[in-house]
Amino acid sequence: MLSIDPALASGIRLLVLDVDGVLTTSHLILGKDGEEIKFFSVKDGIAIKFAQHAGIEVAFLSARRSVIVERRAEMLGVTRVHQGIHAKLDRVREMTRELGIELENVAYVGDDLVDIEPLEAVGFGVAVADSCSDVLARIPNVADAKGGTGAIREVVEAVLKARGDWDEVVRDYIARA
């Protein structure tokens, strides 16, 4: 179970999510004509909506490019979608400047080598359970869930519970359903 200091949690203003292996499982299915199929967790999608409702900006940040990612972002109302980015920490810094916040106000969820720099630089860096061994060796906060299977839900729940916002966000979500 993830935990975060309430003071740190109260300052989180941006949640940056890697895509392949974090928002999705680490599997990529390619059809005979080159079409991609990715698996996203509905629980993670609801958690993204919870974060947004609580005033946390959400961004997708991927080293790969995929139309499917754009579609998922559109479904969830995520407007910050950055694809084809290998210098991820540089892009996270750009987003913090745009939002007028510091790196300590960022939660970042990643799973692979390209995610290590931002995971170490932000206020709350979280690795998914099936991250590569280098990430797991360096990042102390590890979700119980694997990528694409509820890890984002764990992160959002930990932040919102530490902030004292969880019950109200859930109540509002159920009232709107």
Structural domains of the chain ordered from first start: 14-79+90-99+129-143 (3.40.50.1000)
Does the pLDDT value for residue 177 go beyond 80?
Answer: no
Main-chain dihedrals φ then ψ at residue 109, nearest 5 degrees:
-120, 125
- Of all residues in the chain, what percent carry a pLDDT higher than 70? 99
- The pLDDT assigned to 59 comes to 98
> 57-62 and 14-17: which strand pairing?
parallel
CA–CA separation, 177 and 112 (whole Å): 35
> Tens digits of per-residue pLDDT, 88-143?
999 999 999 999 999 999 999 999 999 999 999 999 999 999 999 999 999 999 99
Per-residue pLDDT band at 6 (split at 50, 70, 90): very high
- The pLDDT assigned to 26 comes to 85
Identify whether the C-beta of residue 177 lies closer than 8 Å to the C-beta of residue 169. no
- The pLDDT assigned to 27 comes to 83
Q: Please provide the distance, in angstroms rounded to a whole number, between the alpha carbons at the two ends of the chain.
A: 27
- The pLDDT assigned to 31 comes to 84
CA–CA separation, 50 and 63 (whole Å): 26
CA–CA separation, 97 and 95 (whole Å): 5
- The pLDDT assigned to 85 comes to 96
Per-residue pLDDT band at 64 (split at 50, 70, 90): very high
* Mean pLDDT, residues 158-164 taken together: 97
- The pLDDT assigned to 173 comes to 86
Residue 167, both tokens: 């019950």
The amino acid occupying position 120 is E
